[in-house]
Homo-oligomer: A and B are copies of this chain.
């Protein structure tokens, strides 16, 4: 049984437990936005799901799902004791083990001992993915013993990586000397080159054997050191790893400034890189930190969440976004979901608006993909991908879940019916412009995105001649357990936002004398559609609160069985079965997966009074499974609004700690969906800042409304609004903005 320990800035796990291999891979992930490296030990292999995930690099094998490429592992080190006895965590010789993550600086470390024939062999190591130099990872690996023993240390590049739907790489070429190994290869689908370098320097005088390219059946390109260990002496290895791909943005711009060693000792090189790395992190925290006083656990959890956002922020690119599972692996196909716009972008919007801008540029870049998707389904404009990869074509299949009872793929309607994604993109554009005051993004293509998103909803909406209004039919809202519903309150309100935003920004641009609207209409042939746009903006139906204040989530929701959450859960015949889809236990009940109406009330808070918010919170929360990591934070936020921070607090903690505890849904049907949860990480920030501090930006002005939970004495954070950096401090009774 392992023991988890949380320090001010550390997560530490002592002991070895099989189940923690996967969990710690996520929990102790390091990364720098360009790559993510899972928190596994150096000797870990494919079975441990060791992985180096390269952002923006995808591949498809056969007719399986496209997914991120897992690069050959440049930090592989194995220690072999006499008698060809590999020293691993599963070895019966294991004496002790602990590993930790410093999440202030993204430094992973371990301390492991084995007892070999009476001799204690200890490995200590430390690694980081440079925040200063995106292609660079460094590892310092030290062996110590308390007796004489001959060990073999094998280090190199392990190409036998684990893929969910692989293999993805071929045309391997191996080069280099024992001290400097290099593997080049290509992705199978598109032939994108990938280069992995692993250079090593030892503190001790021991030349490795010349490496031989892996033989058939082998997959590790390795150099071996023979260590005749003496007690009390440290044998240290420094590995410099460099990963780069043909898909990298601005290739060269972010090329490493320093070579592997350039005459430096391993130790010096490591410390030099670490110093630069830490300085970069200090700059990140200067604007990115939130300091909560009076609640150590909350402070730690929120900072840990922010850490997870920062290690996947695509600073190295100008138009990349963040996948739903970050860079923690291949789950969710490494795809970008609405998570980014709705749950992740708010944090960056005020702490580092340039990162938020990258998310929008990514949607501009993938506009053609969204156009293709709209056309595929017979619509006009831009229907953004539910699961978006590098081209914006939808990586989501029509069969996204495997039925546990038959093993058959199950038809789900994420791809073709979750149309709110196009509105979410427009919402993010609006939020960006409102918060930053930076209208240049509209010129960069965002205005055209707005036009095409509006056009999409115009072709998706229907006019009811008997009800004399436009309605939006056959959609799936955020609550994915109810597919193909009509007049989903959230979706309809969001579509209206798209129409309103386009009209408002077109007007605003024209008033500024910009020819952008005219040019865009001409280019896209939209001019004739303006009257319809105005009519729809006037006459689109948005469900409103009923007599009891509750907004019906969609047409007919109240006709569903009102079974309790516990009752619905008790109907499960298999813990892994999917709650939604054609025959799921929630499908025909009012039990919902996640905040849906409640999300809408958060986004459009000014349009609803407190009584409505309270009524919907009270109605929907007991019916919410919180089966999505996007759910709890929205309940937390709304319950702050309704003045009940105490009720809200557990939702905040649940959201902020999701990647510490690892207690999230690991399966949808038979599909593994584990990994980190950037949207929850962002949601934790939303909950703390927008919720407990009542932070908002309206009309370019900062608004605050303190409602700190019990124990919290002060919250401090930074917000950049309209180009100005503000230092905000919120206490129980007041706030300051400097």
A462 surroundings in chain B (CB, below 8 A): 462-465, 471, 473
A398 surroundings in chain B (CB, below 8 A): 588
- The contact of A583 among B403, B459, B473, by CB within 8 Å, is B403
A408, A484, A486, A581 interface centre (most CB from chain B within 10 Å): A408
A408 surroundings in chain B (CB, below 8 A): 571, 583
Chain B's nearest CB lies how many Å from the CB of A3?
A: 40
Chain B's nearest CB lies how many Å from the CB of A697?
A: 35
Name A137-156 residues within 8 Å CB distance of B.
none
Chain B minimum-CB-distance residue to A407 = B573
Chain B minimum-CB-distance residue to A532 = B465
A486 surroundings in chain B (CB, below 8 A): 474
Chain copies in complex: 2
Decide yes or no: A573 and B411 within 8 Å by CB, A473-B473, A474-B473, A582-B582 being known contacts.
Answer: no
A555 with B378: CB separation less than 8 A: yes
The answer to whether the Cβ of A587 comes within 8 Å of any Cβ in the partner chain is: yes
C-alpha gap A571/B406 in the complex (Å): 10
A573 surroundings in chain B (CB, below 8 A): 406
The answer to whether the Cβ of A410 comes within 8 Å of any Cβ in the partner chain is: yes
Chain B minimum-CB-distance residue to A573 = B406
A458 with B463: CB separation less than 8 A: no
Chain B's nearest CB lies how many Å from the CB of A363?
A: 23
The answer to whether the Cβ of A405 comes within 8 Å of any Cβ in the partner chain is: yes
Contact pattern, A 515-553, Cβ under 8 Å of B = 1, otherwise 0: 000000000000000001001100000000000000000
- The contact of A459 among B380, B466, B536, by CB within 8 Å, is B466
- Number of A residues, CB within 8 Å of B: 35
A587 surroundings in chain B (CB, below 8 A): 411, 582
Name A580-621 residues within 8 Å CB distance of B.
581-583, 587-588
Decide yes or no: A411 and B588 within 8 Å by CB, A403-B583, A555-B378, A573-B406 being known contacts.
Answer: yes
C-alpha gap A378/B464 in the complex (Å): 12
Chain B minimum-CB-distance residue to A458 = B466
A581 surroundings in chain B (CB, below 8 A): 582-583
C-alpha gap A399/B410 in the complex (Å): 19
Chain B minimum-CB-distance residue to A473 = B473
B463 with A465: CB separation less than 8 A: yes
- The contact of A406 among B405, B474, B536, by CB within 8 Å, is B405
A582 surroundings in chain B (CB, below 8 A): 410-411, 581-583, 587
A380 with B466: CB separation less than 8 A: yes
A380 surroundings in chain B (CB, below 8 A): 466
C-alpha gap A582/B583 in the complex (Å): 6
Chain B's nearest CB lies how many Å from the CB of A552?
A: 12
C-alpha gap A536/B464 in the complex (Å): 12
C-alpha gap A417/B466 in the complex (Å): 19
C-alpha gap A398/B589 in the complex (Å): 12
A406 with B473: CB separation less than 8 A: no
A474 surroundings in chain B (CB, below 8 A): 473-474, 484, 486
Chain B minimum-CB-distance residue to A585 = B408
Chain B's nearest CB lies how many Å from the CB of A473?
A: 6
A399 surroundings in chain B (CB, below 8 A): 588
A461, A555, A583, A588 interface centre (most CB from chain B within 10 Å): A583
Chain B minimum-CB-distance residue to A405 = B405
A399, A410, A466, A581 interface centre (most CB from chain B within 10 Å): A466
Name A327-383 residues within 8 Å CB distance of B.
378, 380
Chain B minimum-CB-distance residue to A462 = B462
- The contact of A484 among B406, B410, B484, B532, by CB within 8 Å, is B484
C-alpha gap A406/B574 in the complex (Å): 10
Name A13-52 residues within 8 Å CB distance of B.
none
Chain B's nearest CB lies how many Å from the CB of A565?
A: 18
C-alpha gap A532/B378 in the complex (Å): 26
A464 surroundings in chain B (CB, below 8 A): 459, 462-463
A406 surroundings in chain B (CB, below 8 A): 405, 573, 583
Chain B minimum-CB-distance residue to A474 = B474
Chain B minimum-CB-distance residue to A583 = B582
C-alpha gap A177/B290 in the complex (Å): 94
C-alpha gap A174/B96 in the complex (Å): 86
A403, A408, A465, A555 interface centre (most CB from chain B within 10 Å): A465
A411 with B463: CB separation less than 8 A: no
C-alpha gap A465/B378 in the complex (Å): 14
A461 surroundings in chain B (CB, below 8 A): 465
A463 surroundings in chain B (CB, below 8 A): 462-465
Chain B minimum-CB-distance residue to A486 = B474
Chain B's nearest CB lies how many Å from the CB of A488?
A: 14
A470 surroundings in chain B (CB, below 8 A): 465
C-alpha gap A411/B587 in the complex (Å): 9
C-alpha gap A423/B532 in the complex (Å): 33
Chain B's nearest CB lies how many Å from the CB of A587?
A: 7
C-alpha gap A583/B408 in the complex (Å): 8
A378 surroundings in chain B (CB, below 8 A): 555
Chain B's nearest CB lies how many Å from the CB of A463?
A: 4
C-alpha gap A727/B86 in the complex (Å): 97
Chain B's nearest CB lies how many Å from the CB of A94?
A: 43
Chain B minimum-CB-distance residue to A455 = B466
A411 surroundings in chain B (CB, below 8 A): 582-583, 587-588
- The contact of A465 among B458, B473, B484, by CB within 8 Å, is B458
Contact pattern, A 376-408, Cβ under 8 Å of B = 1, otherwise 0: 001010000000000000000011000101101
Chain B's nearest CB lies how many Å from the CB of A8?
A: 49
A583 surroundings in chain B (CB, below 8 A): 403, 406, 408, 410-411, 581-583
C-alpha gap A471/B462 in the complex (Å): 9
C-alpha gap A465/B460 in the complex (Å): 10
Chain B's nearest CB lies how many Å from the CB of A544?
A: 16
C-alpha gap A308/B470 in the complex (Å): 50
Chain B's nearest CB lies how many Å from the CB of A385?
A: 17
Taking A406-B583, A463-B465 as known contacts, 9 extra A-B pairs with beta carbons closer than 8 A to each other, sorted by chain A number, are A399-B588, A405-B405, A406-B573, A465-B535, A474-B486, A484-B484, A581-B582, A582-B587, A583-B583
A selection of 13 A-B contacts at a CB cut-off of 8 Å is: A378-B555, A403-B583, A405-B406, A406-B573, A408-B583, A411-B583, A465-B535, A466-B532, A474-B474, A474-B486, A581-B582, A581-B583, A582-B583
- 6 shortest interchain CB distances as A-B pairs: A582-B582, A462-B462, A405-B405, A463-B463, A459-B466, A582-B583
